[in-house]
Amino acid sequence: MALNVVIMAAGKGTRMKSALPKVLHRLAGTSLLQHVLNAAAELGGGRTVVITGHGAEQVEAAAAASGAAFVRQMPQLGTGHAVQQAVPALDERHPVTLILNGDVPLIRPETAAALVQACGGSKLALLTIALADATGYGRIVRDGGSVRAIVEHKDATPAQRELREVYTGIMAAPTAWLKRRVMTLRNANAQQEYYLTDLVALAVADSMPVVSTAASSETEVLGINSPLQLAELERRYQRAQAERLMEAGVRLADPARLDVRGSLVCGSDVEIDVNCVFEGDVQLADGVRVGANCVIRDARIGAGAVIHPFTHIEGAQVGAGAFVGPFARLRPGAELGTEVHIGNFVEVKNSTLARGAKANHLAYLGDATVGERVNYGAGSITANYDGANKHRTVIGNDVHIGSNSVLRAPVTIGDGATIGAGSVISKDAPPGELTVARARQTTIAGWHRPQKVSKKV
Ligand code: UD1
Ligand code: MG
C-alpha cells in the first residue's frame, strides 16, 4: 500500500555533544537517518517527508539524496508541532501516514508494515513495547484493554509511572484525520510542548479505534541520544549480524569481535578470526580464511584464499587459493589471479597479477600487468608516477624481478626475462634474457680505511 512516511529528525541531540546532527551519526557505517529512510523505502511507494531543524542543511541534503522531501521546523515545539509542519506535504490519496523517528534506526520494515496494516486507514495504530524500566517514556494507559491515552513520563501520576507498556514513538494514522486533528493539539502540559501523543485522546474523543502492535524486540525501537547508546546499539546490531552469519555456517572466532558495515556474503566453511571489519559489499567464497585484524572493503575473495592478519583490502579481487598478508595492502583495482601470493608489506594498486604470480616481501605494484608465475623480488617497485601522469608496467609470464629493482614506467619486461637485483629499468627488457641496470661491482685493491687521528694534549 502506498503511504506517507514522516520521519521526525529536528531534535538537537544535545547529549551527543557533537557538531554533527544526531541523525547523521553512523551505525554500522550508515547514518541513523539513512537506516530509517531505507526502512521507509522497503515499505513501497508513497511519499517520505523528513522534519528537519537542528543542522537542517546537512540533514536536508541527506534526505534529498535519498529522494525524500523535507520540511523545516523552526523553532522545535514538540513532536505534535513537528508533524503539523508536514501536513501540507501529506498526500491524501495515501490513506495511511506512518510516523517514524530519525533516531530510532533499527525499526524493521516488517514491523512498520504490520503497524500500517493495523491502521488500515481507519484506526490509530501505536507501536508499543513493555520495558523493565520505562523511565522517560510515554505510558500506554488502558481501560478494560483498550487504549485511552498516552501520558508522558513528566505528566504521569505515580500510579501511571508504574505502567511498563510504553509508546515507542512510532505510529500509523489515517491521513485525512491526522491532517485535521494534529492542527488541534494544544501545549497545556509539563513541558509546554505540542505532544503528538495527545492524538490518542483526540481519537478516543472522535470514537476512532486506537489499536496497538507490539515491537518484536527492544533493539528495533531503541533510540539514540548519546555516544554510549549509539555504541550499545551498534553492538546489538553487530551481534545480530554475527548470529546470522554463524547460523549460515560461518565460523567466527568471537561473535563479539566482528564488525560488518554493509553486506557480507559468505560461502561455506568460511573462518573469520577476531577484530575484522567488513565494509561495503564483501563476498567471501567457500573455504576463505580471514586472519585477525583485517579490514576488507568492497572486495571479492575467491574460494580457499587465505587472508593473513593485519591485511587491508579495498576495491579488490582475490583469486581462488591466493595467499595475502600478513600486513598486505590491496588498493582499488588490484586483481589477483588464482594462487597468487602477496606477502608482508606489499602494496598493490590498479594492477592485475595472473595465476601463480608472487610478490612476497616489501614491494609496490601500481598500474601493472603481471604475467603468470612471475616472481617479483623483495623491495622492488613500479615507479608508475612521473610527477604528472601515471604509466603502466607490463611484466610477461615467468619473469623474475631481482630484489630491490625499480621498474620505471612505461616499461615492458618480456616473457621469461630476468632482471638483476638492484636494477633501475627504464627501457623495455627483452624476453628470455638477463637484463641488469646498475653500476658494475668493483674492488679497489690496497684501499685502507681512514684511521682516527690521535689528539695531542
Ligand atoms: C517521545 C514520545 C514518548 C515516547 C518516546 C519514545 C511525545 C510527546 N512523546 O518522547 O511518548 O515514549 O518518544 O522515544 O511524542 N522532534 C522533532 N521536533 C520537535 C521535537 C522532537 O522533530 O519539536 C523529534 C526528535 O528529533 C526525535 C523525535 O521527534 O527524533 C522524538 O522526540 P523526543 O524529544 O526524543 O521525544 P521524547 O521526549 O523522547
Ligand atoms: Mg526521545
The atom number, within ligand 1, closest to the CA of 12 reads 26
Q: Looking at ligand 1, which residue's alpha carbon is closest to its atom 5?
A: 169
Taking only the tens place, the pLDDT of each residue in 305-315 is 999 999 999 99
Residue 11 CB less than 6 A away from ligand 1: yes
C-alpha cell at 276: 575484522
* 47-56 average pLDDT score: 97
Selecting among 35, 94, 308, 361, the annotated active-site residue is 361
Residue type, 384: N
Ligand 2 centre and the CA of 242: distance in Å?
28
pLDDT of residue 77: 96
* Res. 457: pLDDT tops 80: no
Closest-approaching ligand to the CA atom of 152: 1
Q: What is the predicted pLDDT for the residue at 1?
A: 74
Task: Output DSSP code: residue 133.
Answer: -
**Is 341 one of the annotated active-site residues of the chain?**
no
Residue-wise pLDDT for 354-363, tens only, equals 999 999 999 9
> What is the SS3 assignment for 403?
coil
Output the nine-digit C-alpha cell for 332.
Answer: 582499488
Q: How far is the CA of 264 from the centre of ligand 1 (A)?
A: 34
**Residue 454 pLDDT > 90:** no
Q: Is the predicted pLDDT of residue 50 greater than 90, yes or no?
A: yes
Q: Which phi and psi (to 5°) does residue 199 adopt?
A: -60, -30
Q: Cβ(80)–Cβ(194) under 8 Å?
A: yes
The mean pLDDT value for 288-317 works out to 98
**Residue written as grid cell 593473513:** 308
Q: Does the beta carbon of 215 lie inside 6 Å of ligand 1?
A: no
Which atom of ligand 1 is closest in space to residue 73's alpha carbon?
18
Residue 44 has pLDDT above 90, yes or no: no
CB distance 138 to ligand 1 below 6 Å: yes
Over the stretch 162-219, which tens digit does the pLDDT of each residue have? 999 999 999 999 999 999 999 999 999 989 999 999 999 999 999 999 999 999 999 9
Between vectors from CA 81 to CA 75 and to CA 85, what angle results, nearest 5°?
Answer: 85
Q: Of 342, 349, 314, which is closest to residue 328 (Cα–Cα)?
A: 342
Ligand 1, atom 35, residue with closest C-alpha: 11
Q: Band the pLDDT of 346: cuts 50, 70, 90.
A: very high
Ordered structural domains, the chain, with CATH: 3-221 (3.90.550.10), 251-435 (2.160.10.10)
Q: Which helix (H) or strand (E) holds 382?
A: strand 381-383
Task: Supply 441's cell numbers.
Answer: 661491482
Query: Is 82 close to ligand 1, i.e. is its CB under 6 Å away?
Result: yes
CB-based contact 369:394 (threshold 8 Å): yes
Ligand closest to 166 (CA) is 1
**Any atom of ligand 1 within 6 Å of the Cβ of 166:** yes
Q: Whose CA is nearest to atom 32 of ligand 1?
A: 79
Residue 404 CA neighbour count, 13 Å, CB half: 4
169 CA to middle of ligand 2, Å?
A: 8
Tens digits of residue pLDDT in 393-404 = 999 999 999 999
Alpha carbons 4 and 304: distance in angstroms, whole number: 48
Does 198 sit in the ligand 1 pocket, CB within 6 Å? no
137 lines ligand 1 (CB under 6 A): yes
* Residue 269 predicted with pLDDT over 90: yes
Predicted pLDDT at 221: 97
Distance 33 CA to ligand 1 centre (A): 15
Residues 377, 112: Cα–Cα separation, whole Å: 58
**pTM for the full model?**
0.93
d(CA 409, CA 366): 10
For the CA of 136, the nearest ligand: 1
